[in-house]
A and B are shown apart, each in its own frame.
Chain A
Amino acid sequence: MRALEVLRPKQPGNLVWTAALGLLGLLLYVAASWGRSFSPKAGVGLLFGILAALAFVFEMAYPSRRPRAFPLRNARAWLQAHVYLGALAFLGVLFHTGFGWPHGAFGWALWLLSLWTTLTGLLGVALQKWIPVALAEGLRVEALYERMPGIVVELREQADAALAGSSETLESFYRREVRPTLEQLRPSPGYLMNVRAGEERALEPFRRMSPFVEPAERERFDDLLAIVTEKRELDAQYTLQGLLRGWLVLHVPTAGLLMGLLVVHVFTWIWY
């Protein structure tokens, strides 16, 4: 069900427009290539190339959505245009090449970078729709990404303070089985599919220990359990927020490379 949610567009109208434009392009391509020679250097093939190049230039201007979002109204409109025009740009590349494989290292580099940038962009869209919902629905704790390491230190200090003066049994349990998990944030890809992944296994030592806790120390024990639970939620937060930011490393630098090759491609087309 969650997967379906990811596929559902936030603004269906934009998807309809994009699909319509893609279909129009396909029809134009079919009309231009049916029974005739199709060249990326002339006619409709060239038109697709120019449109795709212009779309890529627009895509590259995405960071200029801030602070005033000119000429689009707001950052959301920029994002929508960025996503849908990016998809159309890759379609334009396919039409431009006549759905053929590229030739030569340069052609392959252009084609693969176009594909990679488009796919990583779509991956980003999916992550942006999946992760915030998962975080909101599955976790109680939330924090700024940059603050999380500090919060973990605070939680560890709280745990140390809570366990101060406790019985040897509880102290031993804390030192041996709990405190190592509070040392640092532990991101795990498992949180992407389930924000509570591994929770049972993590809390198993507490269940094992629970019958042996003295009634007088029950409160300390429950506090420790709450701290560990919060730390685990922070781990999930840290992992998923890291993914939300990290996918850009896959997308943005390669987009820059793509633009560089595109500049060279346009130059060689004009010059040669």
Chain B
Amino acid sequence: MARRTTYGTPTRSEHYPRPRPALRLTLVAVLALGAVAALFLAAELAGLRAPLSPGRVSERHATWDARCRECHVARQGVPNLRCQRCHDPGVGGRLDHSAHVLFGSLDEKKAAGAPRLECARCHVEHRGGQPLTRVPETECVGCHDDAGQVAQRIPRFSRHPEFQVLATGRRQATGLVYSHLTHVTLGKGKKAGYLVLDKERRAQGVDSPARTCFECHERQPQEADFQPISYEAHCAACHRAELKMDPVPSALVLGPDALPALAESGDVQPDDFDTQGGQTLKLRVVHRDAWVQVNLRKLQSELDPAGFAAARAGLAARRALLERRLILAQPPAARDAPALAAQIESTRQELAVIEGRLAAAAQAPGSGAREAELAAVLQASADPEAQALGAELARRTSDPGAPAGGLGEGELGQRRDEVLRLLDAVEKADPRRKPQADELRRRLGALRPGQTSREVLERARAQRRATLERLEDELDLRLTGTPPPPETLLRGEVDALRRALREVDARLALFDALPPAATLTADERRGREVAVQALSRGCRYCHVVAPSGAFPAVKAADPVLRRATFTHRAHLTRGEACASCHTAPKGSQTAWSIETSGFSEDLSLRGIDSCRACHGGGGAGEACLECHQYHPKGLP
């Protein structure tokens, strides 16, 4: 019989076929899970954290790649404290969000109320070596868009407002008398579109329109922008002859050997002076001539003692502030555990004192009563100036229309000068009072327009708390064996502060070396005013000199765009003539243009529209970070 076709199983089984274990693979999976978790846990316990790294850190942080705990804090992520160890070593808070708000708004109150942002929010690490400075545009727009809480709403470049310096028409007092009008003109014919130098310079062989501006605005291959203008490099060739003075009465000026500082300067040689007929004439006047500067300062001390004292007091206040910052800038990260513990204790004490003062201020009578009390003390003083201040204070205290809260900018500056002068007088009378005077100077320096002393105290409390937090964190790190960051990272700010302090000291020494000024009669005053004119004849060719001899600092190099950074290098590579941005467009009714600019205060830039000609719309970049920086460059 033929075999039947099989449908289904060909034969029945004679025994029970045992199925495979149902959970065998699941068991493998669970074992794999456990093994992986155990492996990483063991690595963590053994301190091998590289396998846990979610990606390579940026090149600059490569040294810290597997030293997780130098940046990470258990259950907190990467707090700002750990970034500040190296990047803001002096507990200055310069890099946090409130510094950004202060930089943008210049409003202390707004800055104090700014929300706390973590550095790691914008600077995302472990991105395979990407530089941390590459911050996505969205981080800026997140706050500055239409729905943002901040005043400056700039969701895209096309809606960027006009530069504030142009919108407000602010003109910076540069301290210089300079006119582009007398140096360049707009070329014609083949030189149309270019600025050309005046005839005199052309006669000297400088006739290339493409080189006109670079005669003074020198490009440096390694620098992003032009070298700052300096007398020796850019003015002396044409203007050395203007450096001269007229004879001044010898009785009104100090001799060449009157001050050791003059001998040290190297500008003063006995042969330089002609002292015939009771008149002194310095035959060889140089730029920043030390003898001329000292004598102008001396004449100022006689003609305007209040201004002189205010200038000196301002310098003393700056010195006090710099000293305090220098103390704060000793990086906590560089200290050992005992030093950190000691500083924690002293900071706690400082904090307790501030808390006590704040509590006392809350219970004390109103500021009016305190001011009346102070006025009474000042009026009882033997010092006529103190009496006058007391009377003025009493008048203001009794004025029912006086504004509550802090003082406005003008009045604050005036009253600050008054108090600083008083502090100078107190310190001169009793040198033992210097620490207290310095403390008051610092507090005055910290006071901003519209701010009350309570707000200053609250700010100080916030600073001390931040300091305490940093110190305690650093102590924890030190106790767990974490070494301090490399010293080179911590040195920059301290060095900058020391340089600034040396400069202030030198200027203060000059103030203090001058003989005390006597009260002048009208004739004596007139004689000294004439002497100021004679002494400063050469200076006044380019500088603004007050009739009293005061010499405002030159600020021509200050950036015009305060919140943005503009570098010429990137723009000059396009081969554009300078005139394309620094002259008014054809047909424009704009008042300014570089070739018609008669004053150093003139702002010779077209504004945001000239930027839009290239930036945006697929041309040059339009990201915020093309021009702006989140972190202000805060240095002494």
Q: Is residue B109 contacting chain A, with contact meaning CB distance below 8 A?
A: no
CB proximity of B121 to chain A, nearest CB, Å: 7
Partner of B33, one of A158, A259, A270: A259
Complex Cα distance A102/B75, Å?
23
Q: Are B25 and A248 in contact (CB under 8 A)?
A: yes
Q: Which chain A residues lie closer than 8 Å to B7 at the CB level?
A: 140-141
Q: Is the CB of B128 within 8 A of A104?
A: yes
CB neighbours of B35 from chain A (8 A): 260
Does the CB pair B18–A103 fall under 8 Å?
no
Shortest distance from the beta carbon of A59 to any chain B beta carbon, whole Å: 11
Inter-chain contacts of B9 with A (CB < 8 A): 141-144, 147, 151
* Segment at the interface with B among A13-21, A22-30, A180-188, A218-226: A218-226
A223 and B142: CB pair below 8 A?
no
Contacts of A254 in B (CB 8 A): 32
Partner of B56, one of A35, A39, A104, A158: A104
Query: In the complex the two chains form, is B36's CB within 8 Å of A141's CB?
Result: no
Stretch at the interface among A47-55, A68-76, A208-216, A261-269: A261-269
Given contacts A39-B121, A264-B40, is CB(A256)–CB(B3) below 8 Å?
no
B11-A151 in contact (CB<8A): yes
Within 8 A of A (CB), among B40-86: 40-41, 51-56, 68, 72, 74-75, 77
Closest to A155 in B: B10
In the complex, are the beta carbons of A264 and B52 less than 8 A apart?
yes
Most central of A103, A150, A158 by chain B CB within 10 Å: A103
CB of A29, distance to nearest CB on chain B (Å): 14
| B-facing residues in A5-47 (Cβ within 8 Å) | 35-39, 41-42
- Are the C-beta atoms of B72 and A272 separated by less than 8 Å? yes
Q: How far is the CB of B178 from chain A (nearest CB, A)?
A: 45
A103 touches B128 (CB 8 A): yes
Given A39-B124, A252-B26, A260-B34, are A223 and B3 also a contact pair (CB < 8 Å)? yes
Least Cβ distance of A121 to chain B in Å? Answer: 13
Count chain A CB atoms within 10 A of each CB in B19, B36, B126 and give the residue with the most: B36
B-facing residues in A144-174 (Cβ within 8 Å)? 144, 146-147, 150-151, 154-155, 158, 162
| Docked pose: A161 CA to B634 CA in angstroms | 100
CB pair A222–B3 under 8 Å, yes or no, is yes
Q: Is B410 an interface residue (CB 8 A)?
A: no
Complex CA gap A142/B155 in Å reads: 69
Shortest Cβ distance from residue A91 to the other chain B in the assembled complex, whole angstroms: 21
Q: How far is the CA of A267 from the CA of B51 in the complex (A)?
A: 14
State the CA gap A158–B34 with chains docked (Å). 50
Note all chain B residues with C-beta closer than 8 A to A255: 29
B33, B41, B142: the one within 8 Å of A256 (CB): B33
Q: Mark A84-120, 1 if CB is under 8 A from B, else 0.
A: 0000000000000000001111110000000000000
A140 close to B34 (CB less than 8 A): no
Extra inter-chain contacts (18) besides given A150-B17, A260-B34, CB under 8 Å: A37-B122, A37-B136, A38-B138, A63-B26, A104-B54, A104-B126, A106-B51, A146-B19, A147-B17, A154-B10, A226-B3, A245-B20, A260-B32, A264-B40, A268-B54, A270-B75, A271-B74, A272-B52
16 contacts between A and B (CB under 8 A): A35-B155, A36-B142, A103-B126, A104-B56, A105-B53, A106-B51, A106-B54, A142-B9, A222-B3, A223-B3, A227-B3, A230-B10, A248-B25, A252-B26, A253-B29, A260-B34
Q: Which 10 A-B pairs give the minimum distances between C-beta atoms?
A: A260-B36, A256-B29, A103-B55, A104-B55, A256-B32, A223-B3, A252-B25, A260-B33, A37-B138, A272-B72
